[in-house]
């Protein structure tokens, strides 16, 4: 007799898998911890935690490969589509690193390379999880549902109890923790819908309750993020499960039973300015947050009751309920079209950050950013401007001073950053991975097939969402999506032992060390640079110079260490050395407005050479004529007036 929690149980090894149970449980725990760390501590779109999360992914992947080469675990047979997918991943990461050679900001491209290394680690870990044998997808789906569910509950707790953590985005009541981005949190919630339905129709009371709660919090979080991409993304997640999953009518009833209470709670929240408005006193957020918490718990209970009662009540009335659900779906579609049609005319500008944005037709500046990315690609068609450099490359083509790091479209981001070569490698990866996932669904049967359908929702929704956002920058999103992709590509394939020998372990260990060095050097450089800055503030110039030189040796691509050395020399009265350092920064990144602007500031304030200041400022202005630095009667105007009045320049 199968245990009540069989779907959620730790992997039991089948005859084809030689991996021992302790090794399997250890790999499952470490993989779950890796995904948990990415989701909760990924560091948003920045690089703050790439060393720790990315390093853990790379080391776990290396450990799995070494274990396989030593005969401790068996990995799945690598088919043709998996080989092409791997080639696409490795090729794109390698091209990202190669782009440092011509990048307009080599340090940004190095950061992009490090994220690529982390993502490759997640992908390999996904393949390694297939060593569980015939319980792989069930195990991974269980772990992913647990991590996503925990993240969504944490986000809701931030709304109910503001002191637990930030639940706002720039003072706006859109859920965004722990991802750091509302649309990114909505993406995980979309995947949670499919994973929750998989659990909810498993047939056992505990699983039904757990699955219903996952669906309930997923719908509630999607609505409270006010994310249009999230609302739209929930449609393919739900549609995939209803089309390819099991118990379609029961799944639809659970979706309604959990979704309606969630919508009622969200509707109440949207009427409370303290929960969705700006500039609201903390006491108001605490008061309404407490009410929200109680209401959310009560409606969660209602969702559980509905999910248990509706399928039983529908027995013998299947046709009636199917027609009712179809009618409800049509009404929902018509209502959505009506809301969109009734909104204000289309706008390419920024959307208002309130619940009404869900039905608006504003592009939130994306059209402008997409045009800028297209222009950058047209100027650098082969290799782009360098991976991760959109924020700098766009300064020459932007129309305003607004700051944005990426064009909010992963394909356009890849084209602008890495050119047609990077774009072709992306197409290879996506095409091969998509074909491999389709074939995986056909290979798997029974419980494994159902779990695979639930897992497919994450990469599918990610791919759709990435068309209009910058998910590639988030470890919390791309890491889990690639891990799931690896699981699906390897799932159901025969396990093959590796041959003996010491060459493979040595090679893998070498790559792992190189990866850790690549990930760790920029992090250490940033720490040294911070120390150098503190040294200058404390007038400890000798120590500051030593720290800045260390930072430069650890990350020679970053101009900030040269700025710090220049400032230290200026503080010591050595103007020629200071000037040489700032000029060196302009040679390091000649197409970066900031390097020329910092040189101009040194000449303007430090050396008092207004002719040299005008030359540097004018070069910076040529690179970025719409920058926020160029104010009326500002530094550029003053330097220009001095030159025009023949007071300087010989």
Closest C-alpha to 172, from 391, 359, 40, 350: 350
**Count of Cβ atoms closer than 10 Å to residue 343 Cβ:** 16
The mean-pLDDT minimum among 83-87, 215-219, 438-442 falls in 438-442
What's the burial of 261, exposed, middle or buried (CB within 10 Å: 0-12/13-18/19+)? buried
What values do phi and psi take at 496, rounded to 5?
A: -125, 130
pLDDT digits (tens, 9 = 90+) for 567-596: 999 999 999 999 999 999 999 999 999 999
Residue 2 pLDDT grade (very low, low, confident, very high; cuts 50, 70, 90): very low
Q: Give the CA angle between residues 254, 258, 262 to the nearest 5°.
A: 160
What per-residue confidence (pLDDT) applies to 167? 45
What per-residue confidence (pLDDT) applies to 529? 96
What per-residue confidence (pLDDT) applies to 453? 93
What per-residue confidence (pLDDT) applies to 240? 87
What per-residue confidence (pLDDT) applies to 250? 84
Residues 6+ positions from 21 with CB-CB distance below 8 Å: 10, 11, 12, 13
What per-residue confidence (pLDDT) applies to 329? 60
What per-residue confidence (pLDDT) applies to 7? 44
Dist CA 115 CA 104 (whole Å): 19
What percentage of the chain reaches a pLDDT higher than 70? 86
Residue 423 pLDDT grade (very low, low, confident, very high; cuts 50, 70, 90): very high
- State both tokens at 640: 């220009």
Closest C-alpha to 135, from 417, 519, 444, 365: 444
What per-residue confidence (pLDDT) applies to 378? 95
Cα separations in angstroms, 112 against 95, 149, 227, 467, 612: 11, 29, 26, 19, 34
More confident residue, 416 or 288: 416
Dihedral of alpha carbons 436, 439, 444, 449, sign: positive
Residue 349 pLDDT grade (very low, low, confident, very high; cuts 50, 70, 90): low
pLDDT at residue 361 is higher than 90? no
What per-residue confidence (pLDDT) applies to 287? 87
Instruction: Kindly report the average pLDDT of the chain as a whole number.
Output: 86
Mean pLDDT of the region 625-643 = 89
What percentage of the chain reaches a pLDDT higher than 90? 58
pLDDT digits (tens, 9 = 90+) for 3-53: 434 444 445 545 445 566 677 778 889 999 999 999 999 988 888 899 999
What per-residue confidence (pLDDT) applies to 229? 87
pLDDT at residue 1 is higher than 50? no
pLDDT digits (tens, 9 = 90+) for 192-251: 999 999 999 876 888 899 999 999 999 999 999 988 888 888 888 888 888 888 788 888
Closest C-alpha to 221, from 186, 253, 256, 194: 186
Residue 168 pLDDT grade (very low, low, confident, very high; cuts 50, 70, 90): very low
DSSP sequence for 284-336: HHHHHHHHHHHHHHHHHHHHHHHHHHHHHHTTT-HHHHHHHHHHHHHHHHHHH
Q: Cβ distance 116 to 92 under 8 Å?
A: yes
pTM equals: 0.91
Q: Which domains, and CATH codes, for the chain?
A: 6-496 (no CATH), 540-644 (1.25.40.10)
354 Ramachandran zone, left/alpha/beta (phi>0; psi -120 to 50) = beta
pLDDT at residue 170 is higher than 50? no
pLDDT digits (tens, 9 = 90+) for 92-125: 999 999 999 999 999 999 999 999 999 999 999 9
Residue 75 pLDDT grade (very low, low, confident, very high; cuts 50, 70, 90): confident
pLDDT at residue 603 is higher than 70? yes
pLDDT digits (tens, 9 = 90+) for 497-538: 765 567 778 888 888 999 999 999 999 999 999 999 999 999
Angle between helices 182-200 and 228-244 (to 10 degrees): 20
pLDDT digits (tens, 9 = 90+) for 368-404: 999 999 999 999 999 999 999 999 999 998 888 788 8
Closest C-alpha to 417, from 96, 90, 44, 45: 96
């Amino acid at each position: 007799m199968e245990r009540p929690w069989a779907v959620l149980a730790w992997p039991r090894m089948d005859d084809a898998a030689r991996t021992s149970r302790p090794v399997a449980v250890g790999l499952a725990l470490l993989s779950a911890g890796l995904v948990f760390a990415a989701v909760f501590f990924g560091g948003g779109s920045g690089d703050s935690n790439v060393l720790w999360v990315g390093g853990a992914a790379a080391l776990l992947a290396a450990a799995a490969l070494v274990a396989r080469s030593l005969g401790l675990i068996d990995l799945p047979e690598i088919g043709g589509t998996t080989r092409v997918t791997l080639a696409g991943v490795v090729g794109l990461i390698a091209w990202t690193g190669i782009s440092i050679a011509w990048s307009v900001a080599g340090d940004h491209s190095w950061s992009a390379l490090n994220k690529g290394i982390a993502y490759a680690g997640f992908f390999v870990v996904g393949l390694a999880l297939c060593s569980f044998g015939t319980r792989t997808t069930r195990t991974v789906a269980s772990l992913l549902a647990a991590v996503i569910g925990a993240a969504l509950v944490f986000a809701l707790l931030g709304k109910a109890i503001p002191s637990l953590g930030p639940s706002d985005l720039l003072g706006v009541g859109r859920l965004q923790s722990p991802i750091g981005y509302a649309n990114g949190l909505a993406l995980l919630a979309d995947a949670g819908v499919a994973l929750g339905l998989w659990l909810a129709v498993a047939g056992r009371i505990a699983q039904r309750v757990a699955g219903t709660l996952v669906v309930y919090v997923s719908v509630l979080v999607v609505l409270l993020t006010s994310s249009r991409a999230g609302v739209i993304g929930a449609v393919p997640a739900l549609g995939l499960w209803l089309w390819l999953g099991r118990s379609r009518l029961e799944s639809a009833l659970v979706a309604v039973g959990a979704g309606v209470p969630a919508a009622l709670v969200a509707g109440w929240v949207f009427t409370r300015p303290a929960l969705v408005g700006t500039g609201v006193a903390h006491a108001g957020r605490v008061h309404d947050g407490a009410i929200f918490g109680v209401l959310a718990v009560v409606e969660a209970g209602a969702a559980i009751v509905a999910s248990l009662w509706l399928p039983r009540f529908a027995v013998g009335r299947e046709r009636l309920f199917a027609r009712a659900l179809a009618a409800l779906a049509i009404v929902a579609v018509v209502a959505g079209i009506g809301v969109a049609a009734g909104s204000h005319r289309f706008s390419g500008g920024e959307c208002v950050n309130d619940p009404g944005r869900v039905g608006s037709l504003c592009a939130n500046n994306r059209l402008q950013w997409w045009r800028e990315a297209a222009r950058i690609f047209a100027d650098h068609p082969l290799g782009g401007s360098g991976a991760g450099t959109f924020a700098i490359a766009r300064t020459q083509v932007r129309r305003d001073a607004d700051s944005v790091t990426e064009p909010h479209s992963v394909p356009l981001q890849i084209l602008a950053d890495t050119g047609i070569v990077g774009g072709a490698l992306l197409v290879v990866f996506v095409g091969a991975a998509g074909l491999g996932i389709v074939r995986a669904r056909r290979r798997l049967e029974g419980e494994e097939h159902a779990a695979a359908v639930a897992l497919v929702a994450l990469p599918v929704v990610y791919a759709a969402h990435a068309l209009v956002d910058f998910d590639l920058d988030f470890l919390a999103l791309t890491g889990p999506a690639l891990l799931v992709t690896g699981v699906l590509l390897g799932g159901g394939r025969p396990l093959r032992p590796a041959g003996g020998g010491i060459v493979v372990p040595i090679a893998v260990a070498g790559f792992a060390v190189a990866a850790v060095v690549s990930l760790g050097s920029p992090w250490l450089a940033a720490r040294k640079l911070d120390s150098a800055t503190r040294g200058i503030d404390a007038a400890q110039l000798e120590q500051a110079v030593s720290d800045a030189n260390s930072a430069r040796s650890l990350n020679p691509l970053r101009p900030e260490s040269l700025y710090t050395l220049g400032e230290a020399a200026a503080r010591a009265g050595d103007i020629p050395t200071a000037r040489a350092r700032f000029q060196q920064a302009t040679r390091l990144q000649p197409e970066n407005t900031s390097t020329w602007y910092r040189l101009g500031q040194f000449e303007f304030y430090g050396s008092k050479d207004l002719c040299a200041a005008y030359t540097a400022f004018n070069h910076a202005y040529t690179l970025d004529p719409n920058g926020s630095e160029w104010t009326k009667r500002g530094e550029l105007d003053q330097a220009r007036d001095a030159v025009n009045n023949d007071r300087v320049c010989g």
